């Protein structure tokens, strides 16, 4: 059937099961936005108009991470498209499947420095799994279908589609094609085969599986390290839990692996690395076998690669061959999807136990937490846990509050912690919280942020209020850029250059200005009362928590040092 390109786009989104799009219109993309109104697609696909394109990018990312679906984001050309780049890079670093759709200037204006022209495909090439410039209307449907397939397949990630404006005026033949028929569709199948990324995850080598089982049988002190790859792999978490419980050995996690092993589990040692627990860091230093599943060995985990797991044989399980031996040299590796690898391991696993090893690992206790009249960070997280029954999805920005959230909130399921782990994006949290709540309307969503981070995204309160998205924002307000100040205190001789935030706004008044409830708390009792009120209201809220300016994240290992060289205990 004949239809205009914008209608083809909408029909393709419906083919993919898209129910929500986050975006911001502009001149070049108006034909697509007009289709929402002209053809009634707004009744089939919710469009959330954010306050800024970056907010839309993070919202689509938060939606994707919390639902396991592909997020979708729209923007216009030029500054609209470049405002997405931070969000695209954030999704890329954390392997989040988002399709970004932009519209550029027309073919006759390309390359002429036209108004709001930018080479967004060139700009985003290093931070996307794949990107496209659509010059012909007849290519549009198959490009969209391929983009979604690439975004969700293998190691997930963001894909960008840039469409020339003249294409959005054109009429083209369109035939509906359900997702399950894509691989058999001649032209699309050929495009998929030519795609720069292999869409078919290889079957793990069964010999490699047996070798790991033999290494486990020979080990006396094994440690399991879980990363975000287990969270991203559909169906991997149940297999992972079966694996480590049969192994019956200590389990540690990267920040992106939060929720793969329940935080309250008897085998869980906590997070590993720069702000890892004593038990985790001492365990990785003394284990004789490290089984790392779906992690990158980043510089926040393996701070000094030369000494990381120095007494162990290191086994790396990952879907992406390029990650093997990139940061840490391994003794054995298995390439494959985490779910399938774990499924095969579980078929050959026999029960184990390491009582002496576990007793030694768990003998490394953390410093007792303070309880007095001051509101401490751990009390904020413990209260959120208690009031929400541990059911809340937690989104964060980046800094001290991010580490406190990872340390003190016991995540019990995948997709419950949504944070910018790889790119470290300040301003990520509120957009991500909006997306998470849109994708999970029955779950409480709490944004944990700092006063510095919240300044970068607080304009999205307009979006929260307009669409009545009941996100509860908890601001850890220490009137400083806390993590930077912590480094300045410990490493830079207490020279606090440009980190004091001794200025506005009044966050409660800011919330009220947007028509949102607000509260200010200085004690645990005040915070508990405010949080209960916010949860019961079913409305968006902003709760400001007065935190000690010198509160620090404990423990801390300086960058580049062995993981047991604690600078701060």
Whole-angstrom Cα distance, residue 319 to residue 324? 10
What tokens appear for 117 in the block? Answer: 């022209």
User: Is 554 a domain residue?
Assistant: no
Show the tokens assigned to 387. 């009031």
* Helical segments of 29-162, H only: 30-38, 53-67, 79-82, 85-93, 120-124, 140-152
User: 483 catalytic, yes or no?
Assistant: yes
189 plus 246 within the same structural domain:
no
Assign residue 498 a region: left if phi > 0, alpha if psi is -120 to 50, beta otherwise? left
* Coil, strand or helix at 181: helix
Nearest to 135 by CA among 99, 103, 167: 167
53 given a catalytic annotation: yes
367 belongs to a structural domain:
no
Phi–psi pair at 512, nearest 5 degrees = -60, -35
Element (H, E) at 541: strand 541-546
The verdict on 180 and 251 lying in the same domain is no
CATH code (residue 303): 3.40.50.1220
Task: Examine the domain organization and report whether 132 and 263 are in the same domain.
Answer: no
SS3 state of residue 139: helix
Judge if 178 and 33 occupy the same domain.
Answer: yes
Same structural domain, 125 and 267: no
d(C-alpha 297, C-alpha 49), whole Å: 37
Q: Contact 396/405 with Cβ under 8 angstroms?
A: yes
CB proximity list for 552: less than 8 A, separation 6 or greater: 400, 486, 489, 568
Count of beta carbons in the 10 Å neighbourhood of residue 404: 25
Identified catalytic residue from 3, 42, 69, 116: 116
For the chain, what is the domain count? 3
User: How far is CA 353 from each of CA 313, 344, 365, rounded to the nearest angstrom?
Assistant: 19, 20, 21
Q: Domain ends where: 159, 194, 229?
A: 194
Instruction: Classify 314 as helix, strand or coil.
Output: strand
Cβ–Cβ under 8 Å, residues 22 and 74? yes
What range defines the domain where residue 467 resides? 377-546
Measured distance CA(71)–CA(99) in Å, rounded:
6
In a domain, residue 382? The reply is: yes
Please tell me the number of Cα atoms within 13 Å of 184 on its side-chain side: 5
Does residue 430 belong to any structural domain of this protein?
yes
Residues 157 and 11 in one domain: yes
Q: Do 164 and 286 belong together in one domain?
A: no
At 194 the pLDDT is: 55
Q: Are 75 and 125 found together in one domain? A: yes
Asked if residue 102 lies in contact with residue 60, where contact means CB atoms within 8 angstroms, the answer is: no
| 126 neighbors 155 (Cβ within 8 angstroms) | no
> Is 220 part of the annotated catalytic residue set?
no
The CATH number covering residue 59 comes to 3.40.50.970
Residues 67 and 184 in one domain: yes
Helix (H, G, I), strand (E, B) or coil at 223: strand
CB contact at 8 A, 553 and 403: yes
Do the domain assignments include residue 564?
A: no
Task: Give dist(CA 407, CA 554) in Å, integer.
Answer: 9
Are 183 and 252 found together in one domain?
Answer: no
In a domain, 366, yes or no: no
State the catalytic residue, choosing from 15, 35, 53, 343.
Answer: 53
The two structure tokens encoding residue 259: 């929720």
Instruction: Tell the burial category of 158 from Cβ atoms under 10 Å away from its Cβ (0-12, 13-18, 19+).
Output: buried
- Whether 165 is catalytic is yes
Q: Which residue among the candidates 4, 129, 165, 437 is catalytic per the annotation?
A: 165
Does residue 211 sit within a domain?
A: yes
Mapped onto helix, strand or coil, the DSSP state of residue 263 is coil
Q: Catalytic: which of 10, 93, 483, 552?
A: 483
Residue 196's pLDDT is what?
A: 42
Write down the pLDDT at residue 156.
96
Same domain, 179 and 214: no
Distance from the first to the final alpha carbon of the chain: 68
d(CA 508, CA 520): 7
Grouping H, G, I as helix, E, B as strand and the rest as coil, residue 1 is coil
What is the pLDDT at residue 14?
A: 97
The active-site residue, picked from 107, 115, 356, 532, is 115
| pTM for this predicted structure | 0.95
pLDDT of res. 371: 81
Judgement on whether residues 188 and 239 belong to the same structural domain of the protein: no
Asked if 343 is an active-site residue, the reply is no
pLDDT by residue for the chain (569 residues), tens only, comes to 899 999 999 999 999 999 999 999 999 999 999 999 888 899 999 999 999 999 999 999 999 999 999 999 999 999 999 999 999 999 999 999 999 999 999 999 999 999 999 999 999 999 999 999 999 999 999 999 999 999 999 999 999 999 999 999 999 999 988 887 766 565 666 655 555 445 567 899 999 999 999 999 999 999 999 999 999 999 999 999 999 999 999 999 999 999 999 999 999 999 999 999 999 999 999 999 999 999 999 999 999 999 999 999 999 999 999 999 999 999 999 999 999 999 999 999 999 999 999 999 999 988 778 788 889 999 999 999 999 999 999 999 999 999 999 999 999 999 999 999 999 999 999 999 999 999 999 999 999 999 999 999 999 999 999 999 999 999 999 999 999 999 999 999 999 999 999 898 999 999 999 999 999 999 999 999 999 999 999 999 999 999 999 999 999 999 999 999 999 87
Final residue of a domain: which of 147, 174, 194? 194
């Amino acid at each position: 059937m004949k239809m205009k390109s914008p209608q083809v786009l909408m029909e393709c989104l419906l083919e993919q099961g898209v129910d929500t799009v986050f975006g911001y219109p502009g001149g070049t993309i108006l034909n697509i936005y007009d289709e929402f109104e002209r053809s009634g697609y707004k009744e089939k696909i919710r469009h959330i108009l954010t306050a800024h394109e970056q907010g839309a990018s993070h919202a689509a990312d938060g939606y994707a991470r919390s639902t396991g679906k592909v997020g979708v984001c729209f923007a216009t050309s030029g500054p609209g498209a470049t405002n997405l780049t931070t969000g695209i890079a954030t999704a890329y670093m954390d392997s989040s499947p988002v399709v970004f759709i932009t519209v550029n200037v027309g073919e006759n204006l390309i390359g002429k420095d036209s108004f709001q022209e930018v080479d967004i495909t060139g700009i985003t090439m290093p931070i996307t799994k794949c990107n496209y410039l659509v010059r012909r209307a007849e290519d549009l449907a198959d490009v969209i279908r391929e983009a979604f397939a690439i975004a969700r397949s293998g190691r997930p990630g963001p894909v960008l589609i840039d469409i020339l404006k003249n294409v959005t005026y054109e009429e083209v033949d369109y035939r509906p094609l359900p997702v399950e028929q894509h691989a058999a569709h001649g032209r699309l199948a050929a495009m998929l085969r030519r795609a720069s990324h292999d869409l078919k995850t290889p079957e793990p080598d069964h010999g490699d599986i047996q070798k790991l089982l033999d290494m486990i049988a020979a080990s006396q002190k094994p440690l399991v390290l879980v990363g975000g790859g287990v969270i991203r792999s559909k169906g991997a978490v149940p297999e992972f839990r079966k694996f480590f419980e049969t192994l019956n050995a200590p389990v540690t996690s990267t920040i992106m692996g939060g929720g793969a092993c329940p935080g309250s589990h008897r085998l869980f040692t906590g997070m590993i690395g720069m702000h890892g627990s004593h038990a985790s860091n001492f365990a990785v230093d003394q284990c004789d076998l490290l089984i790392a599943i779906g992690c990158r060995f980043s510089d926040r985990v393996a701070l000094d690669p030369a000494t990381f797991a120095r007494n162990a044989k290191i086994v790396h399980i990952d879907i992406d061959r390029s990650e093997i031996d990139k940061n840490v040299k391994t003794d054995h590796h298995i390439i494959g999807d985490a779910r399938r690898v774990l499924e095969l391991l579980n078929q050959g696993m026999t029960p184990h136990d390491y009582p002496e090893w576990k007793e030694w690992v768990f003998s490394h206790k953390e410093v007792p937490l303070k309880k007095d009249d001051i509101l401490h960070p751990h009390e904020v997280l413990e209260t959120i846990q208690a009031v929400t029954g541990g059911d809340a999805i937690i989104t964060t920005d980046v800094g001290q509050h991010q580490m406190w959230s990872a340390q003190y909130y016991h995540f019990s399921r995948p997709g419950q912690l949504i944070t910018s782990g790889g790119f470290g994006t300040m301003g990520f949290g509120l957009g991500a919280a909006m997306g998470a709540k849109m994708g999970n309307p029955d779950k409480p969503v709490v944004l944990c942020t700092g006063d510095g981070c919240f300044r970068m995204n607080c304009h999205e309160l307009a979006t929260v209020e307009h669409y009545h998205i009941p996100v509860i924002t908890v601001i850890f307000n220490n009137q400083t850029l806390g993590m930077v100040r912590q480094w300045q205190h410990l490493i830079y001789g207490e020279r606090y250059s440009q980190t004091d935030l001794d200025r506005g706004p009044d966050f409660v008044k800011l919330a009220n200005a947007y028509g949102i409830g607000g509260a200010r708390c200085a004690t645990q009792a005040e915070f508990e009362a405010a949080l209960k009120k916010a949860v019961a209201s079913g409305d968006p809220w902003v709760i400001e928590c007065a935190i000690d300016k010198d509160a620090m994240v404990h423990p801390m290992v300086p960058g580049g040092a062995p993981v047991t060289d604690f600078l701060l205990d």
